[in-house]
Structure formats: C-alpha cells, structure tokens
Structure 1
Amino acid sequence: MNCQEMQNSGWIFPTSILCIYGFFSMMKPSEPFLIPYLAGPDKNLTIDEVTHHILPVWTYSYLALLFPVFLITDYVRYKPVIILQGVSFIATWLLLLFARGMPAMQLMEFFYGLVTATEVAYYAYIYSVVNANYYQKVTGYCRSITLVASTMGSLLGQLLVSLAHVPYFYLNAITLTSVSVAFISSYFLPMPQRSMFFHRRSSQDGSDKDSPNVMNQPNYQQNKCIAMPSVNSQNLPEYQLPQIQNQNYSLAVLLHLCKDLKECYTTKKLLYWSVWWALATAGFNQVLNYVQALWDAKAPSQNSDIYNGAVEAIATFLSSLTSLAVGYVKINWDLTGEMALGIFSALDAGSLFLMHFTKNIWACYAGYLIFKACFMLLITIATFQIAVNLGMERYALMFGFNNFVALLIQTIVTVIVVDSRGLGLDIEIQASWIFLIYGSYFAVIAGIFLCRSMYTIITIKCKNPNLTKHPKELKSEELNAEDYGTRL
C-alpha cells in the first residue's frame, strides 16, 4: 500500500503523523522554568512585572481567541489550524529566546494564547480522517503521547539544570527545535474531507455511514478501555443538522449549534456536571498559571536549587495513572460519581491549604502533586458523565463551551486580583489569595457534592432498598423467604 492509499483509507498514517506532532509540540523542557527564566539575567524582569503585566495577557488572548478559533477550526477542517498552532509555537519561543522587554514578552504570551486556543484542532482532527471503529484506539494514542512527551520534557529539563547546569536559555533553544519539528510534521497530515459541523453534507453520500457516532456504536461501551458509567437518565437526541440551502448554510449551522447548546444545558444532570467542570477548571488553571511564582516565593531560584521540572514530570505521570485508574474501577459512577467528586475535591482543598500555609518548599511540591493528580481524576469522571449522554458533536460543543465559561471565570479573577489595573496585589499577597481562597473554593465544591451524593444515594436506596445489597445477601433473603413459605 502506497502513502496515498494509506492517507485515503487507512488510520495508521494520519495517526502516526498526528502522534509525532503531539510528541514534539509537548516535549518542552523549558516550560517548568518559565518564571525563573523571565526573572533571571536573560530577561531581567521582576516578579511583579511577570505576574501583573505579562502572564495575564495569556488569559485575555486565550479568552478572546477560543470561540472564534473553535468555529474556524471546524470550517477550515482542522489541518490549517494545526499548522497555525505550529507557527504560533515557533513565534512564542523565538520571542522567548531573542526578544527583551515587557512588551515583547506580552506579545509572546499572546502567541501562547493562540497556541492553547488552537489545541482543539489537534484533538478533533483525527475523528474526521479515520473510521469510527478506530476512534477508541487513536484517541488513546494521541492523548497518551502528549502525556509521555510532557513528562519527558519536564524530566529532561530538570536533569539538564541539576546535573549539567545548563542555562535556561538553552532549554528554550531545545524547545524551539522540538516545536519546529512538530510544525514540519503538520504539513504531512492528510487534509480531511469532512468535519463535525460545517462539512457534514459532503459526506452524506455514504461515507458517514462508515463513520457513525462513536457514542452510539453498539460495542463502544463494552470495548472502551475506560469504564463508562451506567446512565439512568434518558440520553439527548442525536445531533442532526437541518436541511438548508447553500447560501444560508453557515448561518443555519451557527443557529442550530446555539439551539443544541440550549437543549444540552436544560438537562439538569448535564448542567450540574458542567457547572462543576467550569468552576473547577477555572480554579485549576489559575493555580497552574501561578504556581511557579509561589515556588519562587518559597525558595527563590537565585538563592537555591529548584526542582520544578521534576515536580511537573511526576505530577503528569501521577495524573495519567489516576486518570487511567478510573477505567479499572468497576463501580456505578452514576450513583457514586458525585461522592468521588466531593471526596477528591476535599483533597484538592487540603493540598491548596498546605501549599499556602507551609514554608517548606518540599511540602509545597507535595501539595501540588496531590492537587494535580486529584483534579485530573475528577475531570476524567466529569468527562465520562457528560460524554455518555451525548453524541460526538454535542460533546464537542459542551466541551468547548464549558472551557469558555471556565476561562471567563478565570479572566474575571485575573482582572480583579492579578492585573495591575485591578487590585494589583504583590506576589506574596497574590499567592495567598490564590492558594487560600481557592482552597476554600474547592472546599465549598467538596461540601456541595458530598451533600448532593448523600441525597442521591438515600433517595435511590429508599426507592429500591435492594440496590446497595450484595448479591449473596439478596440470595440469602430469597432462600429465607422460600423456607418461610414452605413452613407456612
């Protein structure tokens, strides 16, 4: 089979190229050392300038670009946006390496906001070029390769800093090389002929029949490596575009997407889980964005050895393990998922309190490991609870909109607390606000979900007392009933 045949009919070629792109785009040894690099002799910026004037630009640009990029990505069929992401990666690290001054670093953060806004193309591309029978397999490959690359990049950076005493500048040079390889590989991706929303009609001649919605496949839940929850609520109708004329097609698609969003969020269960998704993701992103500043406040990089890369590598590895563990826990997530959210949200709250109150950098590192691993476990559970009720198209809509709401919440927090035009708190007070208030924030989430889970379990048990009993107990009761009937 030649390359053209593989591109048109196979899944191995596009998946391999996309995995190569994902690996090199995420293999960034310099990322855990961004704050020390900006505050060091290379850029000679102050922590105040970095936190108040530079980092907020990423939040603002990400928010401004997320929704239009989401629509454009589907309209242009993914590949051009993946190439755009590669260009943005290169622009980001060229500025990090060779530009100086606060305006240049703000421009760098804008390009990185474009990088994160275009991530949707990487995760959506593969569903438009491979048969639905391979969705599970290629999703596992594409997601796992990014975790492996992130872990390897963080570990490589730590080893180079700790053992070889490599300056941060050269870590950024290695990252630039890596993202350049990713950019080159993106050109070899086959161009999709269809997409989820705007170009579905081009495949209605029969090609879509070979690519059914992955959530609606009869053997999907049995074969999926991660256990799907059993759902008692009625699933929403499958996504369908209306019959519309060519000249009004794009407008009708947008109106239909709005209608679908309304239908999704009027379902109480989906609304409840989506609210948790948005609130928790906003807190997670805020912590993730400023944790290096907290570490630098606890142990200044100019005066002590730092292990940011090792911590990020371990945190990513633990996150992958906890996410994977969900698939091997055979429980009814529809019944106990909310309790899991409550328990692990409480652990998140405790870890944030620890990071705030401790003066020991190692305890601060440990708190971060617990926080990130627990959050990744929780977001996996929430993803299952939402995805099992939806088709691929509606899941993509809710995924994008939930992240948009999370980013909107994060932007409001950034404007009020971090930005110099808001309160403009200094780094120690700012760190206290983030890690103390968000600890309380996750504690409130934990309380809500624990109360809700207890109410759900009690309500279901009252309706069906045998639901929570062990099969042996039920069998014993049946035998006793038979014996009683015989004696009568």
Structure 2
Amino acid sequence: MSYTRISLLLCVFGFFKEFRPSDPFSVEYFTGQWMNFTKEQVYQEIFPVGLVLATIWAFFLPPVSQSIYFHRSKTSECAEECLQSQQTIQIKAERCIDESSQTQLKIQTVKESDANRGTFGKIKNVYRSMWRDFLLAYSNPDQLKWSVWWAFATCGYFQVCNYIQFLWKNSMEESDNVYNGLAEAVLTVIVALSMFGIGKLNLNWSVVGEAVLSVFALIQGAALIVASQTQNIWCSYISYITFVALYQAMITVVSSEVAKNLSDESYGFIFGINMLVALLLQSLLAFAVTGNCVFALSIRLQYVVYGGYFMILGTVFMAMAIRIMVQQSKHGIHFKLWQPSFVAVDRN
C-alpha cells in the first residue's frame, strides 16, 4: 500500500473518530430535563464509573490475528533479531554504552529462540523480547524524560477535558447562550495550526526540551487556575483553548522524540505503556478528586488542583532544564538552540 493511500486512510479515520457533535453538550443532556441528574451525581458518580468501566472493558477486547511479538515465523524472527542487534549497537554507541555486551545478549536470545520450540518456550521468548525492548527504551534518559512528561501531562489533559463542561456550566449566567460547540470548533482549528507550526520548528529538542515543556506546563497551570476563578464564560473558553492547544502542540513533539529512540517493532509497545500509565494515573486522580470516597471537591476546587498539578509538573521540568544548562556550562559545551539544517550540495 502506498504512502499516500495510508495517509489518506488515517486522515479519514481521524476525521470520523473526532466527529462527535454531541460531546460538547453531554453535561447539558445529563443535567437537563432529559435525564434530570444533579451536577454532583454526574461528575462524582456517573463519570468516574464510566472511566472505570471503560478501563475494564479494554481488557476484554478480542485478540488480534497478527502481532509483532506473538505472530512471526522463525525465519523472520531470526532476521528481526539480527536487525534489532544492529539497531541496538547503533543506539548504544550514541549513548556511549558498551556495545559488545548488548550484541552478546542478542546472539544469546537467537540461540535460545531456536532451542525453545514449544509453546511455553515461544511465550517465554516473546516476553523476553518485550522486556528487552522495555529496558532499551527506558534506560535512555531522553526517552524516559519524554515518557514521564507524556504520562503525567496526558493524565491531566484527559481529566481537564472530561470535566470542563461542568466548569463552563458553573460559569454561565442565566442569560448566557451556550457556545460549547463553537469553542470546540475554534479549538480544532487552532490545534491544527499549532501542531503544524511546531513541527516546522527545527529546535534542538534534546537540549531545550525540558525548558519548553516546563514553560508550556506553567502556562497551562496558570490557564486552569484562571478558568477555576473566573465567572466569565468567554474567559473560561479562552483558558481551555490555550490549555488544549499547548498540550496538543507538545504531544506532537514528544511523540516524535520518543519514536526517534525506538526500533520499528516496539513503537506500539512503548506508546501503549506510556498511555497505560497515563490512564492509571488519571484513574487515581479522578478517584481522589471527584469521587465521593475521598475529597469530593467542588468543580472549581478541582480545577485549582489541576492547575497546581501542571504548575508542579512545570516546576520539576524547569529544575531539570536548569540542571542541564549548568552541567553544559561547567563542561564548556556550546548551547545549540537549533538543529543543524541539511543543505543540498551541488555536485556539478
């Protein structure tokens, strides 16, 4: 299948996946004359239960017919082992880690793969391969840095988006019209432009990544705190748009940077781990902040907590950025803000 056709299919899938015209009005539906629930019932009981049921449902999805780890022939398995060995050597060389020990590990894995021909042996080899990919990914400090931000920021992002309509409803006067759909439509356009624009920036993300992540997280935290205190619905809309646009711009960069340090076979595995951690953190946050069993905060206090959450995240990454800058200054390393541009050479 050609690259153009794959891209087109992904765009069509993304369009229909995100086409949810009723989403901006789900709270109005639950709390209005149609269902007649109270706001407290919806965000303290219905939404948390829905999150837990969705997580449980994921474990009962049917298995796929083909997968990277469980469905591959012996020939392709050996070939992939050799290819992964070469990729591993290259990655380790970049990290200044001993290459010979990793190569020996790959050779040993191939030999054990040939020796273990039974079902148990195959499963054992599968999980050994997964564990190896896990260690290769998260032993890289840059990979770990991006993944930590991914998990914690996505956790907060999901929580903010899930409950923003309650905050909007709390900020509206009786005479205000509901423009939730308009806010979401404007947000979609701004997010598309921000993702396209940040993709064009040729920044040296391995150097400035922590600083940019920290600044964006601090702005997001400030936007959420403003939204939690304002009684003006338009100010709340603008704060939400700012928050989401910054997250979507940075998750584009984070996904790209994570993928740079991965082998082709482990993309889905590592991306899935990051998302799983984010969902587990979100479940804990929702249980603590919105559930009746713990704090059961009002909607405005919830967004104060979410704002503080991103402020703390931004402060941590700011400290990391300062530490890196100090270390580079001590070692006399030149601070390179931009990646080198690749210029075509005229051979005539």
Report the TM-score when normalising by structure 2: 0.79
Superposed, 1:284-299 pairs within 5 Å as: 284-299=157-172
Question: Partner residue of 2:346?
Answer: none
Match of 2:192 among 317, 320, 328: 320
Question: Partner residue of 2:344?
Answer: none
Match of 1:260 among 133, 137, 153: 133
* 1:76 equivalent in alignment to 2:64: yes
* 1:356 equivalent in alignment to 2:348: no
Q: How many angstroms apart in 2 are the aligned matches of 1:469 and 1:56?
A: 43
Q: In the alignment, residue 370 of structure 1 is paired with which amino acid?
A: T
Contact 1:66-1:404 within 8 A present in 2 as well: no
Match of 2:200, SS state, is coil
Question: Partner residue of 2:342?
Answer: none
Contact 2:225-2:304 within 8 A present in 1 as well: yes
CA offset digits 1:437-459 (Å, max 9, x no partner): 12111111112212211221232
Q: In the alignment, residue 452 of structure 1 is paired with which amino acid?
A: M
CA offset digits 1:135-193 (Å, max 9, x no partner): xxxxxxxxxxxxxxxxxxxxxxxxxxxxxxxxxxxxxxxxxxxxxxxxxxxxxxxxxxx
Q: In the alignment, residue 37 of structure 1 is paired with which amino acid?
A: Y
Superposed, 1:66-465 pairs within 5 Å as: 66=58, 69=61, 75-77=63-65, 194-201=66-73, 204=76, 233=95, 243=113, 244-245=116-117, 247-248=119-120, 249-250=122-123, 252-299=125-172, 304-425=176-297, 429=298, 431-465=299-333
Q: In the alignment, residue 245 of structure 2 is paired with which amino acid?
A: A
Q: CA deviation at 1:48?
A: 1.7
Q: In the alignment, residue 47 of structure 1 is paired with which amino acid?
A: K
Q: CA deviation at 1:55?
A: 0.8
Q: How many angstroms apart in 2 are the aligned matches of 1:195 and 1:28?
A: 30
Give the count of matched residue pairs: 319
Distance of aligned partners of 1:14 and 1:398 in 2 relative to their CA distance in 1, 3 Å threshold = closer
Q: How many angstroms apart in 2 are the aligned matches of 1:28 and 1:437?
A: 28
Contact 2:290-2:302 within 8 A present in 1 as well: no
In the alignment, structure 2 segments of 5+ residues that lack a partner are: 88-92, 339-348
Contact 2:203-2:337 within 8 A present in 1 as well: no
Q: How many angstroms apart in 2 are the aligned matches of 1:460 and 1:30?
A: 51
Q: How many angstroms apart in 1 are the aligned matches of 2:212 and 2:152?
A: 17
Contact 1:337-1:381 within 8 A present in 2 as well: no
Contact 2:69-2:129 within 8 A present in 1 as well: no
Match of 1:31 among 23, 27, 33: 23
Q: CA deviation at 1:303?
A: 5.3
Q: CA deviation at 1:386?
A: 1.6
Distance of aligned partners of 1:379 and 1:350 in 2 relative to their CA distance in 1, 3 Å threshold = same
Contact 2:220-2:246 within 8 A present in 1 as well: yes
Distance of aligned partners of 1:17 and 1:450 in 2 relative to their CA distance in 1, 3 Å threshold = closer
Contact 2:223-2:240 within 8 A present in 1 as well: yes
Root-mean-square deviation (Å): 3.4
Distance of aligned partners of 1:421 and 1:468 in 2 relative to their CA distance in 1, 3 Å threshold = closer
Contact 1:198-1:253 within 8 A present in 2 as well: yes
| Greater RCO structure (CA 8 Å; 6+ sep) | 2
Q: How many angstroms apart in 1 are the aligned matches of 2:166 and 2:337?
A: 50
Q: In the alignment, residue 153 of structure 2 is paired with which amino acid?
A: A
Distance of aligned partners of 1:366 and 1:14 in 2 relative to their CA distance in 1, 3 Å threshold = closer
Q: CA deviation at 1:19?
A: 4.5
Contact 1:352-1:371 within 8 A present in 2 as well: yes
CA offset digits 1:42-82 (Å, max 9, x no partner): 2222212211121112321233344665xx5xx514xxxxx
In the alignment, structure 1 segments of 5+ residues that lack a partner are: 1-8, 78-193, 217-230, 471-488
Q: In the alignment, residue 450 of structure 1 is paired with which amino acid?
A: M
Distance of aligned partners of 1:392 and 1:417 in 2 relative to their CA distance in 1, 3 Å threshold = same
Match of 1:204, SS state, is helix
Identity %: 28
Q: How many angstroms apart in 2 are the aligned matches of 1:416 and 1:200?
A: 43
Distance of aligned partners of 1:310 and 1:333 in 2 relative to their CA distance in 1, 3 Å threshold = same
Match of 1:327, SS state, is helix
Distance of aligned partners of 1:421 and 1:234 in 2 relative to their CA distance in 1, 3 Å threshold = same
Contact 1:352-1:438 within 8 A present in 2 as well: yes
